[in-house]
Amino acid sequence: MDSIFSDRITDVPRSFIREILKVAIDPTIISFAGGLPNRAFFPVDELRDAVGRVFDINGRDIFQYSNSEGCLQLREYISHRYKKQNLNIPVENILITSGSQQGLDLLGKTLLNEGDGLIIEQPGYLGAIQAFSIYKPAFCPVPVSDDGMNLQALQQVIESGEPKLMYTVPNFQNPSGISYTEQNRADVAHILRKTKTLLIEDDPYRELRFRGSGKTSFQALLPDRTILLGSFSKIIVPGFRLGWLAAPAHIMEKIIVAKQATDLHTTHFTQSIIYHYLKQNNLEDHIARIRDAYGRQCQAMLDSIEQYFPKSVKYTKPEGGMFLWAELPDNLTALELFEIAVKDRVIFVPGDPFYVNKTNTNTLRLNFSCVDAETITVGIQRLARAINKLMETKS
């Protein structure tokens, strides 16, 4: 190929979501398309206080080049918080990243050769598909549904050539909102234990559970082979681009080499702001407020869907997070629905970008974190009208 570009960059899917979000600027449109945390819960005043303390306490050194692993106090905080949740992750195994997205890039960089097998959920997180595409793996999609991963399909994929990596979002998955049950986690762990496959457990929504009980992390089930990703984006602010990656020591060593080659280190200034914020404020109370709001909004969406959608539309019932997932009757596509819905001033993300090998699917992602309950009801009514309209044209 006579291109000036690398092969890897030509393989990366364009972000369809970015295109959709351009439509969302119109204030008369009700958008279930976003993937944003609700800005009403950004603790702006508390962060302002925390910045003052960074200047008072850290002084000049916070502005110098610093270590690649990240701010020690913040990593200690993360380690202690995991300890309270019965996860044993020493500080040395934690690296601060520029958001979870960078964690995914560093893992692709460190672990993937071209053509390496990578198990990915179907549907799966678009950002992960983009990050990993750069490193040209062989994607092995395994379906997920209400219980978690399809065990038979997982077994088949493993038998047909033991993929090197598996990527999972076991809590309130993006895009589907589903969570793996305890039994499903145990079964997945049992299957993986017989392989050499490494597990990437991406857990940004962990703390946003508004219903049901917390589940066991894969990091606890498979500690020697799990790389756990976390993020401050959904519980404090996304704009600081701060997340972390917890990996066994022998893997961490190489990830730090990749981190140095990639950007030397993530700024310690924002890390220190977050640390001082966490030290002075009650994070549990803050998260509880977010959870309550998201839970109410999710319930409003579920109630409206129950009331207004045709019964032939299936949908998930999330226990946390920011998204739910709907499946139209087989003969409809979400892209067709989008065309009709946008005219009635409601939008969502058609399911296609969440698959590595499917187009014109009948699935869609609905976000409930950024829209209040009343608006959700209006939006779902509009969307129901659009579905009915589309069904009429097909009957």
Helix (H) or strand (E) holding 258: helix 249-263
Shortest Cβ distance from residue 363 to a copy of itself (Å)? 23
Q: In this chain, which of 24, 29, 62, 335 binds a copy of itself, going by CB under 8 A? A: 62
Pairing of strands 198-202, 243-246: unpaired
Shortest Cβ distance from residue 56 to a copy of itself (Å)? 10
Backbone angles phi, psi at 119, to 5 degrees: -75, 130
> Cα 47 vs. chain centroid, distance in angstroms?
24
Shortest Cβ distance from residue 230 to a copy of itself (Å)? 15
Return the range that interacts with a copy of itself (CB under 8 A); candidates 76-84, 98-106, 330-338, 351-359. Answer: 98-106
Q: Which is nearer to a copy of itself, 65 or 159 (CB)?
A: 65
Angle at 270 between CA 201 and CA 228, to 5 degrees: 10
Residue 138 lies near a copy of itself (rule: CB under 8 A): no
Helix (H) or strand (E) holding 367: strand 363-367
Q: In this chain, which of 78, 112, 142, 227 binds a copy of itself, going by CB under 8 A? A: 112
Residue labelled with tokens 């799966």: 124
Residue 241 lies near a copy of itself (rule: CB under 8 A): yes
Tell me the two tokens of residue 65: 């080049």
Q: In this chain, which of 76, 146, 153, 269 binds a copy of itself, going by CB under 8 A? A: 269
How far is the C-alpha of 98 from the C-alpha of 79, rounded, in Å? Answer: 18
Q: Which is nearer to a copy of itself, 240 or 348 (CB)?
A: 240
User: Could you give the 3-state DSSP secondary structure of residue 105?
Assistant: helix
Q: Among the residues of the chain, which ranges form H helices?
A: 7-10, 16-23, 44-53, 72-84, 99-111, 126-133, 151-159, 182-193, 218-221, 249-263, 268-280, 283-308, 334-343, 373-394
User: CB-based contacts of 155: which residues, under 8 Å, 6+ apart?
Assistant: 191
What track of x and - describes contact with a copy of itself for positions 201 through 240 (by CB under 8 A)? --------------------------------x---xxxx
Residue 134 lies near a copy of itself (rule: CB under 8 A): yes
C-alpha dist (Å) from residue 63 to 60, 272, 333? 6, 11, 52
CB atoms inside a 10 Å sphere around CB 103: 30
Residue labelled with tokens 């090998």: 357
Total residues found in the chain within this entry: 395
Q: Which is nearer to a copy of itself, 8 or 211 (CB)?
A: 8
Q: Which is nearer to a copy of itself, 216 or 262 (CB)?
A: 262
Return the range that interacts with a copy of itself (CB under 8 A); candidates 166-174, 259-267, 316-324, 334-342. Answer: 259-267
Q: Please, which of residues 333-372 interact with a copy of itself by CB under 8 A?
A: none
Q: Please, which of residues 28-57 interact with a copy of itself by CB under 8 A?
A: 36-37, 39, 42, 44, 47-48, 51, 55
User: CB-based contacts of 163: which residues, under 8 Å, 6+ apart?
Assistant: 116, 117, 118, 119, 138, 140, 157, 197
User: CB-based contacts of 138: which residues, under 8 Å, 6+ apart?
Assistant: 115, 116, 117, 118, 163
Q: Which is nearer to a copy of itself, 35 or 320 (CB)?
A: 35
Q: Please, which of residues 66-85 interact with a copy of itself by CB under 8 A?
A: 66
Q: Which is nearer to a copy of itself, 45 or 159 (CB)?
A: 45
How far is the C-alpha of 121 from the C-alpha of 145, rounded, in Å? Answer: 10
What track of x and - describes contact with a copy of itself for positions 155 through 174 (by CB under 8 A)? ---------x----------
Q: Under the rule (CB under 8 A), what is the footprint of a copy of itself? A: 4-9, 12, 14-15, 18, 36-37, 39, 42, 44, 47-48, 51, 55, 59-66, 98-99, 101-102, 105, 109-113, 116, 127, 130-131, 133-135, 164, 196, 198, 233, 237-241, 251, 254, 257-258, 260-270
